[in-house]
Amino acid sequence: MAELTYREAVSRAIAQEMERDETVYFIGEDVAAAGGVFKTTEGLLERFGPRRVRDTPISEQAIVGAVMGGAMNGLRPIAEIMFSDFFAVCWDMIANQIAKTRYMTNGQVALPLVIRTANGGGVRFGAQHSQSVEAWAMAIPGLKVVVPSNPTDMIGLFAAAVRDPDPVIVVEPKALYAMKADVPDGEIVDRLGAATVLREGSDVTICVLGSMVHRAMDAAERLAADGIGAEVIDVRSLVPLDTQAILASTTKTGRFVTVEESPRLCGWGAEVASIVAEEVFYDLDGPVVRITTPHIPLPSTDALEDLAIPSPDVIVERVKASMG
């Protein structure tokens, strides 16, 4: 057992998979010599050499096109898109080519590749570098999407992503890079499509993802002090989605709340809420509640960004209001 930051877990996750499989390689802007703009890939160049850890030009289209070609020819590439906002630059390649190739070739061409990216706000980078884009990827058939919320999940879910036969988007909340946690020694391999119940409760289910997991856990502690038992579910994987865990918890508690860093319109929680309403409507004791960032470009000013992103205070207030 060792204490690792989330950013150190990213490096360990990549190294674990490169160590076990020589077909795995890693490319991106400033990922080699500089160790990544967020220092998430330090030591990889020295350990695996310039043949397998490569800096690229500032061209997201070139990065994504290169890993698509590598995957089509028997390799298992990992690409870094420095900020998830820059998916917009290469979205045609991801959405129209990578996501659809296996389907359009009737399974003859698989694309076992991973695109990892820093996502979300909380670090004052402004509207063009703070977006939460997991719902973009979730909406495209053919892509799998995971959002690890802690160092151990970062390693385990990343391993599952690299070993998967389909393209996987690994979304890393940049606000969590400095967080620390104990991580088991040895190989860590998780599975896609499995949510985790982080806290048991009997009164309300709070469904969360990424950096919002920790805010929801804080809120749940405060709700418990007021006699409200909140069950907190870390979704972890948006595609595939663990609907069974979400529905089972909602049936038990009778109330359902999502907490999303993404903007309200068409956020991932809207899809989850629709599933809950359709499948277990008669088990609900009140309306489904979505707590989200407003549908606005995220401000960089400290006070305004803090106001926009859901806080533990807001979660506590909304949960109490939903329970009357």
Would you kindly state where each structural domain of the chain is located, as residue ranges? 2-183, 196-322
Write phi, then psi, for 13 (nearest 5 degrees): -60, -45
pLDDT of residue 214: 98
pLDDT of residue 155: 98
pLDDT (mean) for 168-187? 97
Write phi, then psi, for 126 (nearest 5 degrees): 85, 180
pLDDT of residue 83: 98
How wide is the angle at C-alpha 225 spanned by C-alphas 223 and 227, nearest 5°? 75
Which of 2.60.40.2130, 3.60.21.10, 3.40.50.970, 3.40.640.10 is the CATH number of 2-183? 3.40.50.970
Q: Say whether 213 sits in a helix, a strand or coil.
A: helix
Residue with tokens 């802690």: 150
For the chain, state the CA radius of gyration: 19
Residue with tokens 């993802």: 209
**Alpha-carbon gap, residue 45 to 18, rounded angstroms:** 11
- The percent of residues above 70 in pLDDT, for the chain, comes to 100
pLDDT (mean) for 206-235? 98
Q: Is the peptide bond before 173 cis (omega within 30 degrees of 0)?
A: no
**Alpha-carbon gap, residue 74 to 59, rounded angstroms:** 23
Identical topology for domains 2-183 and 196-322: yes
Listed residue (128, 21, 30) closest to 76, CA to CA: 21
Q: For 299-319, what is each residue's pLDDT tens digit?
A: 999 999 999 999 999 999 999
pLDDT of residue 44: 98
Domain range 196-322, CATH class:
alpha beta
CA–CA distances in Å: residue 6 to residues 164, 177, 229, 322: 22, 5, 29, 34
Judge contact between 113 and 79, C-beta under 8 A: yes
The contacts of residue 105 (CB under 8 Å, 6+ apart) are none
pLDDT (mean) for 167-178? 98
Q: For 70-125, what is each residue's pLDDT tens digit?
A: 999 999 999 999 999 999 999 999 999 999 999 999 999 999 999 999 999 999 99
DSSP string, 146-190: E---SHHHHHHHHHHHHHSSS-EEEEEEGGGTT-EEEE-SS----
Q: Which residues are known catalytic residues?
A: 129
Q: For 138-161, what is each residue's pLDDT tens digit?
A: 999 999 999 999 999 999 999 999
296 pLDDT above the threshold of 90: yes
DSSP assignment letter at 111: -
pLDDT, the chain, mean: 97
pLDDT (mean) for 30-39? 97
pLDDT (mean) for 238-243? 98
pLDDT of residue 324: 81
